[in-house]
Structure 1
């Protein structure tokens, strides 16, 4: 008898706030660029009209399976799911004949099922292989990266993506262990090395927290994908359409904040004070944090920030299109 695959639960963060703010018309076309286990998608589908449509995207095959297999699969004809990175959403939608949408929702970072599955290697709380890839069909694992990278490369990743002040010490310890013929291959290996290299840490925080975050972000190219995905979302949004972005750490939120701010704030060209101002592409709508009740019910929501922006009715400046074409 075949053993069923383990099930890992996921509580969707800022569920109603994200869906209510991204939905502008029930008969529009919407993109959920990070399907996960479908919390946002399922609620959004329940609010769509008969002509509405939802395109979900995820690069994790387990997320694709959650949408297409088993008793909880989504069989709604208005729903389509694509195995892809959300950075490629514009190309994926064009491939099925869609040029504009009324809303794009992104719930960034790693999901609870990914964290809680020891085989994925995302968490220091569980023993397992040090993989960390969201799409296990491509790219190198965290263990493979640590097996080939030099001390400088490792230190840069841990410092830049984990904001870890002991990055150099951690890198030295990892390389030293590798040179001894004991390369880090598991979550326990990494936790042990970091615990010895990090001498002090904030109360209640595991010494390996920042290093695990850094390696995950690097292995999955998360910040690069976010920058590309925001540009793709902006290019897809119809006038009046909205983007709703949930981030969980300062590196992500800073990129989202700067992107929205850069497209929603009027900048005066001091070299041409009387020139016609450039049209603005976005209007910043809201910044929303989880309620106290949500944080108490789901502590993982504590650091979440939801930012909402709306596409203006004016066209993008010509120079924006030239940048996208590389002119």
Structure 2
């Protein structure tokens, strides 16, 4: 399958990044390279874009497609949590912009064998980096009922988390749950019929939760945003596209903290911590897809874009 990617909120992202022709940019989630290619088109010979992805399929396919940009483009197979090491390896001390387009890519969803989608019956995998030891199959078959319920509730915000966890435990006592199809059937059995008739696919939230847990997505995001801001030159910009409320909340809170600076308790008459604001937030409210974009790319409906500029 071709690694094709329709970039979400492309025009808005480029405007907020304000790409400089000779700038150095990092796309922390290269994927199919849609955003990266748009940035590369704006770069002149001295410009550089480093594309990072933990999915080897993405790196291989997109490296070939973007090879026409020559030395302006470098692809790195790694998790973006390794940003500091990656920049050091390329002798880069500061950058002009950084982009995160989070979540699962269209290719990963459409490649049924990767186990990300509840619409395809496939091995229960969900690893973005297939060299990882732990897949969704291990979590589903090895976590305790309490841990399963916690993961499904915390990462999926699924109101039926406890019941789904109970049904998973009952099912796996008979035989291991090995495929996405088997898991979907368990989830459908666990959620009462009335609740299944409303809202999205009954397995959507549980699959999201397992994917986040397998890839440790939220922990990695929390630990990397401030690191990325640290490497920005003054006037450099950070843009982050999220696809669910958990990610968006993390981005909003970290941006607010970096824009506030002072961490003294509200009752203090004067600041004693001495912390200065690091960024100015460019998006008071998140940018969302236009009705026109939603017609062309329905997967953009849950996308939210936030951006900031370094002081």
TM-score by length of 2: 0.94
Match of 2:303 in 1: 304
Contact 1:130 1:142 in 2 (8 A): yes
Match of 2:269 in 1: 273
1:175 is aligned, of 169, 172, 177, to 169
Q: 1:1-327 residue pairs with structure 2 within 5 A?
A: 6-69=1-64, 73-180=67-174, 182-199=175-192, 200-201=195-196, 203-265=198-260, 267=262, 269-270=265-266, 272-275=268-271, 278-286=275-283, 287-312=286-311
Q: Secondary structure at the match of 2:196?
A: coil
Instruction: Let me know the Cα RMSD of the aligned residues.
Output: 1.6
Aligned equivalents of 1:15, 1:260: Cα separation in 2:
21
Contact 1:88 1:232 in 2 (8 A): no
1:273–1:186: structure 2 CA closer, same or farther, 3 Å change rule? same
1:246–1:150: structure 2 CA closer, same or farther, 3 Å change rule? same
CA deviations on 1:59-87 (whole Å, 9 max, x unpaired) are 00011011233x66455211101111111
Unpaired runs of at least 5, structure 1: 1-5, 313-327
Aligned equivalents of 2:199, 2:239: Cα separation in 1:
31
Contact 2:101 2:241 in 1 (8 A): yes
Compute the displacement of 1:230 (Å): 0.4
Match of 1:324 in 2: none
Aligned equivalents of 2:3, 2:91: Cα separation in 1:
35
Contact 1:60 1:135 in 2 (8 A): yes
Aligned equivalents of 1:92, 1:246: Cα separation in 2:
22
Contact 1:151 1:171 in 2 (8 A): yes
Aligned equivalents of 2:203, 2:66: Cα separation in 1:
35
Contact 1:24 1:242 in 2 (8 A): no
TM-score by length of 1: 0.89
1:264–1:137: structure 2 CA closer, same or farther, 3 Å change rule? same
Aligned equivalents of 2:171, 2:67: Cα separation in 1:
45
CA deviations on 1:170-213 (whole Å, 9 max, x unpaired) are 11111111111x21111101100000001113625211111000
Aligned equivalents of 1:229, 1:202: Cα separation in 2:
39
Compute the displacement of 1:39 (Å): 0.2
Number of residues of Structure 1 aligned to a counterpart in Structure 2: 305
Aligned equivalents of 2:63, 2:33: Cα separation in 1:
11
Compute the displacement of 1:9 (Å): 3.1
Q: Secondary structure at the match of 1:253?
A: helix
Q: Secondary structure at the match of 2:188?
A: helix
Compute the displacement of 1:50 (Å): 1.9
Pick the structure with more helix per residue.
2
Compute the displacement of 1:8 (Å): 4.9
Aligned equivalents of 1:288, 1:147: Cα separation in 2:
39
Contact 2:19 2:42 in 1 (8 A): no
